[in-house]
Amino acid sequence: MAVESPYTSADLEALGLQQERLPRHVAIIMDGNGRWARQRGLPRIEGHRRGVQSVRTVVEECARMGLEQLTLYCFSSENWKRPRLELDLLMSLLQQYVVAERNEIMRQDIRFCTIGRTDRIGPRIYKEVNTTIEMSRNNPGMRLCLALDYGARQELVHAVQNIARAVQQGTLRPDEIDEQTISDNLYTAGMPDPDLMIRTAGEMRISNFLLWQISYAELFVTQTCWPDFGAPLLFEAFRDYAGRERRFGGLVKETI
């Protein structure tokens, strides 16, 4: 498949966008696959399969726009409660994706990575995930981060444990612990915090996703289920983001 060329300033202007007003890091909660399938009388797994097409579209568009990072909430630590058959099919889709998309990841200079636990997804899937990570490690383009077996509370517990060990070993004093210390011990260490979080399927909750990192992220919620989420809605989210005034807890200077 031919790779689309990066967007020019004129291309972005035609979409009502400006490079300097684009988010640096976008995080997406890809919700509604099962609902989409149910509305069509299809098995839930068909919604997940169709959702992979939306992933391809969004990854390509974000890479063309020159975003620094795109983080996708693929599988939460709570998702293990789902039926065994659905879990097996989800893991199979994950494996297929990381193998099938390698050529596109390399062509688009994307750096692939994951956050979350890796000890429960199985050695065969872990091997394929790690192969894609290693292949793309030195690519200079957008970072594509999949949150797999991820939970923000679990991440914070892990960070606190790491910090406690450092204190116990005498390499860190309690009064030296600050926000940066915590950030440096999260799964996302070294990554920018999300500027924009998108959630599909209309749910008004965060679902244990990047709780520390989204402190000042702008939120965009759409009623559209993930399998129907495409470039037009992505551009709408970016235009909405560009029109907001980000104050980070401060005040905007008023013109006298």
Q: Active-site positions?
A: 31, 79
Neighbours of 218 (CB within 10 A): 17
C-alpha distances in Å from residue 87, one per residue of 34, 68, 199, 226: 13, 31, 22, 18
Structure tokens at 236: 């709408």
Tell me how far apart the alpha carbons of residues 225 and 222 are, in angstroms, rounded to a whole number.
8
Tell me how far apart the alpha carbons of residues 227 and 233 are, in angstroms, rounded to a whole number.
12
Tell me how far apart the alpha carbons of residues 148 and 72 are, in angstroms, rounded to a whole number.
9
- Candidates 208, 219, 198, 47; CA nearest to 116 is 208
Structure tokens at 105: 């990841």
Structure tokens at 187: 């799964």
The DSSP call for residue 7 is: P
Whether residue 52 contacts residue 93, with contact meaning beta carbons closer than 8 Å, is answered with: yes
